[in-house]
Chain A
Amino acid sequence: MAGTFKKFSKEDVSNLSQVKSSVARGIRAAICETYPYLEETDIIETLIPKKESVYTGKCGHVTLCVINNTVLFFQERDGPWLPTLRILHQYPEMMKRLRTDKGAIKFVLSGANIMCPGLTHPDAVIHDEGEVGGAVAIYACDKEHAMAVGVLQMSTADIRGINKGIGVENMHHLNDGLWKMPNLS
């Protein structure tokens, strides 16, 4: 399931349709619950203004939240709503951060999941704690900007303790299909 947006283009998005305001409110609420920072700072109003119509598109098992023809958030099956990296770059404080060592970068940018050793490495930093299913932003040692967003497959405590297996599932990374196509026309 890694590299959800490996091959992704406008044609892959089916039924891009406007949603009812009740559904839009639901999405907004879900996003606010996952990212209280957006609500506290009212950024959510900038991203998803009440007056704007919200569109949804589907791409396989992924639902896209589209406003003004721009993909802002996406959700795989019933997982958490995740922001696109472009949005995350604009508001880096919205998400919990994990920082891998340098060696992991090229794998992450090819769509690989983040394995525990990449996060327990002496150069790696677990900035914020999290539980299974939590949304996290993936950074790299010595780099300023996030390179990926993912979902925790193990709690940060377990990542440290067990140090084996997949720590975070890589849902979206720099230069993947979604990154290259932020706008649908």
Chain B
Amino acid sequence: MKINDTLPLEYSTEENSNKVFGFWIFLGAEIALFSTLFAVYFTLWNRTGSGPSGSELFELNGVLWETFLLLTSSFTCGLAIHAMRLNLKKPMMIFFGLTLLMGLGFLGIEISEFVTYVQDGATLQTSAFLSSLFVLLGTHGLHVSMGFLWGAGIMLQIKRHGITPETANKSFIFSLYWHFLDVVWIFIFSFVYLKGLM
């Protein structure tokens, strides 16, 4: 294995650089995926049938907490990578831990939001608006759930093996994923919730 010392550890071998590049291409495909879901939502957002509309359904309080948690977790995830580049394992683990905890907090709020919707009679089958809303939010929420499991797995590996070219590479790729989920949330926050309440 050829290690290039002039680059950060996560890029240090050719395989590592290729993995990071490949993941960027995957994120490109994710942009296309979420665009299709946004396209469906923007087409159907006022087809509420006999169900509630967005402005009747959305609660700003929970959404603001979700946004704050995800933004902050994106920040701590960035700090984890910064600590990793300083080769500081303990702060890196703490920042990753905080990131995942806030991710979990986000999921908790989102799940309770969904439960409230369903209790109010707003289900996946109620209207075209709600179908597209649940699919868009659910796909994002599923990504966050996957990210939580993935991040937890990476934390175990760092705990066991320390900061190596392999674990650094996995951590960096995970951070790209996590920041990307925050980007998707920014668009959901703006164009689903804030636009709906405007």
Verify that A and B bind, or say they do not.
Answer: no
Contacts from B to A (Cβ < 8 Å): none
Contacts from A to B (Cβ < 8 Å): none
